[in-house]
Structure 1
């Protein structure tokens, strides 16, 4: 049984990490968040210590090191995006391996810095890339791998997840903290595309605003038109009033069905990490580089490689 700490215990994604820790037969020893709405702990780890001051949490982690039976083995991080880098570094310096939600960091330079802290501490950083464990994604990856080497797939990626006014008032609506909508809701899709179709060859942005982004990516094995949005007005007419989220991946005019199978992917990710097969900093680099370019690029005029949904914005 491994001892875990959790940073960001009041966040949306934290319960999935708590469940994964429990379901893999391990112990959540201590949790931290500046907010105290963490009643979910009662059903998953009622014995865990809890702190709302990081200094107290960090000191407690050091105290636990005095006994081999209580020393922390892992720190799991579910804090806001802009805090991932300092929280990862703190976990490594506590003498723990770290499991962090995506995006790990906003820039390749910060990945380089974390590699240095890994070497200094002798510990590892792992990230949750749950789509790499989704059965439909794995089947598509195998199909691409088995296709003739010169085959180039045409892909349309569309993801619209409606967010209310609270979003703009939260850290997620602040690009200094979330790093923008393409990073906050899109980074795992860009990792998925890299996982299936290889390295990025071209990265063009056609639209970038507070609530949506779109562009074109060419990979070794695919040409991808992508559109990401948190604006309910972008939902297709057949979905409006019925669902608040629309997720679509079309490969060579064939819809990829992957609406199901997400429930336990965090637990699968933990199982793989604990078995020594987790995804680390090197695995996260391509997606970090992709969203860094998207975030800093000057949008180009839409053209034939533009996502079809862009036409609706100008109509």
Structure 2
């Protein structure tokens, strides 16, 4: 049977991927909410969906559907990060499962509270951790599992570099407000931390070398890996050869001196995530916990500068 979906955050960058995933899994978007009304993209997927710009009217509509036994089965959440917790609670209170973009919440204690509400409601909270479904990353995990079976104490040296250029708008929007986005590590790094701990084990050490409005960099000591990481939204730090190619994004993971290629295969990961959830899989609260603990710690750690095992790109930022 087709499932009924509602979508919170219909005007954002990632919303069309959720609409596409709902459509491609043969389900129905019945209602959508966003305070901004630039949502004509809905017509490409679900032109009959009801749309609201005020939460109160959306809330009333979803409640009426529930009372008429035509309620929503899932609420997809693509709203600003700081609202995820409240919108997940809204879904559970309306007898619906929640499918939430990363980061699931901003702080680990939010997960504890949601676990209690999840238990009370009997509904589930799912986080979009799409890198766990990327074929190349699954292959890497299988390779590491095989190698660790032979040598459980093996350590890997990893450099994670992710630069995704953003213009002046970024710092005016909620994404540039650490209180709303959680900062750069939460906004653009959380799914990488999830992927790395999923493959290389739990965190032993968390160090921040650099933390500004447009750059975060640090070191993660994992059970089986030493990870130097560098995240930025500043175009200036992109390598010159990448700039000359006309690109504004640079993504690199180097494992023991060898580049790990996973630049392709991202377009269908939301649909795969929805299929995984609808087939009684999905990644829940506990799967999200480690990455949320990491970004929460990063937000509260004082940067130590160019000391210890810092990422080489720090040289371009720090004197």
Which residue does 2:194 correspond to in 1?
A: 191
Report runs of 4+ in structure 1 exceeding 6 Å deviation: none
- Compute the displacement of 1:239 (Å): 1.1
What residue in structure 2 maps to residue 48 of structure 1? 49
Distance 2:130 2:271 in 1: 9
Classify the secondary structure of the residue corresponding to 2:185. Answer: helix
Deviation at 1:67, TM superposition (A): 3.5
CA distance in 2, matches of 1:163, 1:304: 29
Partners in 2 of 1:192 and 1:256 — Cα distance?
A: 13
Structure 1 match to 2:252: 248
Q: TM-score, normalised by structure 1?
A: 0.98
Extract unaligned runs of 5+ from structure 1.
Answer: none
Report what 1:103 is aligned to.
103
Residue 13 of structure 2 is matched in structure 1 by 12
The match for 2:269 is 265
Q: Indicate if the aligned counterparts of 2:306 and 2:318 stay in contact, CA closer than 8 A.
A: no
Q: Displacement of 1:116 after TM fit?
A: 1.2
Q: What pairs with 1:289-304 in structure 2 (closer than 5 Å)?
A: 289-304=293-308
How far off is 1:66 after superposition? 3.0
| Secondary structure of 1:40 counterpart | helix
Alpha-carbon distance in structure 2 between the residues aligned to 1:266 and 1:218: 30
Secondary structure of 1:139's counterpart equals helix
- Superposition pairs of residues 40-119 of structure 1, within 5 angstroms: 40-68=41-69, 70-119=70-119
Aligned counterparts of 2:11 and 2:316: Cα–Cα separation in 1:
37
Q: Tell me the SS of whatever aligns to 1:301.
A: coil
Query: In the aligned structure 2, how far is the partner of 1:185 from the partner of 1:295?
Result: 13
Partner-residue secondary structure (3-state), 1:35: coil
Alpha-carbon separation, structure 2, partners of 1:85 and 1:314: 36
Name the CA distance, whole Å, in 2 between partners of 1:67 and 1:60.
Answer: 11
Cα deviation 1:21-57 (Å, max 9, x = unaligned) = 0000000000000010000000100110001110111
Find the partner of 1:213 among 193, 212, 216: 216
- In the alignment, structure 2 segments of 5+ residues that lack a partner are none
Larger CA deviation: 293-302 vs 157-166: 293-302
Change in Cα spacing, 1:314 to 1:301, as seen in structure 2 (3 Å) is closer
Deviates more, 1:297-306 or 1:28-37: 297-306
> Where do residues 149-228 of structure 1 align in structure 2 (5 Å cutoff)?
149-228=152-231
